[in-house]
A and B are shown apart, each in its own frame.
Chain A
Amino acid sequence: AQSVTQLGSHVSVSEGALVLLRCNYSSSVPPYLFWYVQYPNQGLQLLLKYTTGATLVKGINGFEAEFKKSETSFHLTKPSAHMSDAAEYFCAVSEPAGNKLTFGGGTRVLVKP
C-alpha cells in the first residue's frame, strides 16, 4: 500500500521568501508523484507531476519539485512567495499508470506581507 506524509500542516512565509513544502512517500514500486493546489472554495488544481525522466520537474506559477528516490521525497519549492500563493497544497502518489491517487494530509500556506 502507498502512503504520503506532508510535514507541517501549516507553513507561514513572508512575501518574497522561499516556499518549501515537504512530501515523503512510501511505495513498493517507483511511483508517479503529483502536487495539487486548492484555493479557497475551489477544487484541486494540478501544479506539477513526476512520472519518469528528469527528476526536477517544473510546474505552473513558478513552482518546482525534485524527485529523490534515495530519500523517498518529492518536496515542492518556489524561490519567491507571492501573496497569491496562499492556498492549501496536497502531495499525491499513484502507481505507475495506476488508477487511484493517495493523498497526503495537505499543507496550508500563509503568505505574510
Chain B
Amino acid sequence: KQEVTQIPAALSVPEGENLVLNCSFTDSAIYNLQWFRQDPGKGLTSLLLIQSSQREQTSGRLNASLDKSSGRSTLYIAASQPGDSATYLCAVCGAGNMLTFGGGTRLMVKP
C-alpha cells in the first residue's frame, strides 16, 4: 500500500526566503507525481506535474524534483511572498490513475 509523507507539517518563514518542502513515498512504481496548493476551505490547484521518467519541472518561482528510486520529491519555492501562504500537498499517481496524498505542509510567509 502506497504511503506518502510530507515534512515539515507546518512552516513559518519571513518574506523573501527560499524554502524546500519535502515529500516521500514508499512504493516507487508510480506514473507521475503532482504538487498542489490548497487555500483554506478551497479546492486544489495543480502547481507542477512530474512524469515518472522526469527528474524535475519548473514553473516560475517553483521547482519540483523527483527521485523515484529513493521515493522522494522536493518542492523548492524561491523568494517566498505572503501570497504563497497556503497548504501544499504532494500526491503520487499509481496503478489505476489513483492519487495518494500526503498530509500536506502548511506554509505561512510573514511580511
Chain A partners chain B: no
